Amino acid sequence: MAESQQRERFLDPALVGKLQRLDMVARRVVEGFLTGLHKSPYHGFSVEFAEHRQYMPGDELRYLDWKALAKSDRYYIKQFEEETNLRASILLDTSTSMLFQSNPDGVSKMRYAVQLAACLAYLMNRQNDAVGLMTFSDQIHSHLPARSSGAHLRHLFKELEVESRRTLKRDESEGSKRATAIGKCLEFLADRVQRRGLVVILTDFWDHNEAEVARALKHFRHRQHEVVVFQVQDPAEAEFPYREESVFVDMETGERLNVLPWEAAKEFKKRVDDRIEFYRKHCGANGITFERLLTDTPYDLALLRYLEKRQRLN
C-alpha cells in the first residue's frame, strides 16, 4: 500500500476531530478504510460497497445497472430501500461522563463515539443496510428508526451533532448534567428494537450497576439480535497518569474529591480492569462482540468488527 494511502486509512482520531462536518469525517475515514480493506487479507468482507448487489438468475432485467456493466463487465442490480440487506441500530451513550478529555489536543469520548457512529452509519448506508440511531443517558433522548436512504443518513448525522451539542450545553449548565443509567435504558431499548438485526452500543460503561447492564445486554440476545459493544475510554482512564495531588470532580454529580494519585492509582486501575474483564467475560459467554477502544485508536478496528459481525448475519 502506498504511504499516502496508509496515512489516509489510519487517520488519527484527533486529526479527524478537527473536521467540523460529520459527513466529511465519515466519508474520509470509511473510504480510506475500504481502500485498505480491498488490499488486505480481509478482502472477503468487501461486498462491492455501493447501492447494488450482484445479478442472480430470475432478477428483473429492468433493474440491471447498465453503466456498471459497461465499466466493470459485471452484472449488478440496483437495490432500493425495500431490498435492504440488514437492519442495524446504533445506541449512543450521551451521559456527561462521555465528555471527558484528558489531552487538549485529542478528542473527548463523546466526540470519538459520535464520529465512530457516523463512520459506521456511512459504511452501513454504502452497503444499502438500514441504520437507526438511539441516544441515551439516564433516559432516552432520541430514536430514529432504521432506514437506508441518503436523506435518512443526513438526518442521522444531524441528530448526532445535535445530541453532542446538547450534552455539552447541559454540562456547562450548573445542575443540568446527564447522569448514567445504562442498564435501565438498554432494557427499555431492547423492547423497542422490534425486528431482528444488529445492535451496536457505544458507551464508556461508567455505571456502577454492572449486573443490571449485563442483564440488559443479554436481553438483546434473548430477542435474537446480534450485538457489538464498543467501550470507549480515554487513555487516562486506562493508565491513570496523574502524579500530583489533585482535586477530582465527578462529571455527572459534581462531587469533588481530593486525591493523592500515588495512593489511588493502583486501586483505580484495578477497578477499571475488573470492570472491563467483567464485561468481556459476560459478552463472550453470550455471543456478544466486545471491544475496548481508547480515544486515540484509529477507527479501523471498530469498522472491521462491524463487518465481521455483519458477515455472520448474511
Q: Say whether pTM exceeds 0.85.
A: no
Which pLDDT score is estimated for 239? Answer: 86
More confident of the two residues 264 and 111: 111
- Number of C-alpha atoms within 13 angstroms, CB side, residue 115? 31
Count of C-beta atoms within a 10 Å radius of residue 224: 9
Which pLDDT score is estimated for 81? Answer: 42
175 alpha carbon, distance to own chain's centre: 28
What is the DSSP code (8-state) at residue 98? G
Which pLDDT score is estimated for 243? Answer: 76
Confidence of residue 145 (pLDDT cuts 50, 70, 90): very high
Q: How far is 6 from 92, CA to CA, in rounded Å?
A: 29
Please, are residues 108 and 93 in contact by the beta-carbon 8 Å criterion?
no
Please, are residues 131 and 147 in contact by the beta-carbon 8 Å criterion?
yes
Q: How far is 80 from 63, CA to CA, in rounded Å?
A: 10
More confident of the two residues 40 and 135: 135
pLDDT digits (tens, 9 = 90+) for 44-82: 444 443 455 666 666 666 666 777 667 777 776 665 444
> What one-letter code names the amino acid at 282?
H
Which pLDDT score is estimated for 6? Answer: 43
SS3 call for 143: strand
Produce one character per residue of 38-48: b if its CB has 16 or more CB atoms within 10 Å, e if not.
eebeeeebebe
Which pLDDT score is estimated for 5? Answer: 43
pLDDT at 195 over 50: yes
Q: How far is 241 from 104, CA to CA, in rounded Å?
A: 15
Radius of gyration of the chain (CA): 21
Share of the chain above pLDDT 90, in %: 40
Cβ-based burial of 249 (10 A; exposed 0-12, middle 13-18, buried ≥19) = exposed
pLDDT at 181 over 50: yes
pLDDT digits (tens, 9 = 90+) for 233-270: 999 988 887 777 777 776 666 677 777 777 777 888 89
Q: Which long-range contacts (CB under 8 A, 24 or more apart) does 237-242 make?
A: 237/100, 237/102, 237/204, 237/272, 238/272, 238/294, 239/269, 240/264, 240/265, 240/268, 240/269, 240/272, 241/102
What average pLDDT is seen over the chain? Answer: 81
For the chain, domains (ranges, CATH) are: 47-79 (no CATH), 82-313 (3.40.50.410)
